[in-house]
Amino acid sequence: MIFIADYGAGNLRSVQKAFEYLGVKTVVSSDASLLVNFEKVLVPGVGAFGHAIRSFNASGFSEALFEHIDKGRKVLGICLGMQLFLTQSEERGTHKGLDFVPGKVVRFKSDSEKVPQIGWNSVAYSKESVLFEGIPDNSFFYFVHSFYCEPECEEDIAATTLFAGKNFCSAIEKNGIFALQFHPEKSSGVGLKVLENFAKC
Residue among 91, 173, 185, 196 flagged as catalytic: 185
Catalytic (active site) residue 183: yes
Residue 79 known to be catalytic: yes
Number of Cβ within 10 Å of residue 77's Cβ equals 28
Active-site residue, 185 included? yes
Q: Which of 145, 173, 183, 196 is catalytic?
A: 183
78 phi and psi, to 5 degrees?
Answer: -120, 130
Say which residues have a Cβ less than 8 Å from residue 98's Cβ, sequence separation at least 6.
Answer: 53, 56, 62, 65, 66, 84, 85, 86
Distance, in Å, from the CA atom of 173 to the CA atom of 167, rounded to the nearest integer, reads 17
Task: Concatenate the DSSP letters of all residues of 8-75 into one string.
Answer: SS--HHHHHHHHHHHT--EEEES-GGGGGG-SEEEE---S-HHHHHHHHHHTTHHHHHHHHHHTT-EE
* Catalytic choice (79, 169, 173, 196): 79
Question: Catalytic site residues?
Answer: 79, 183, 185
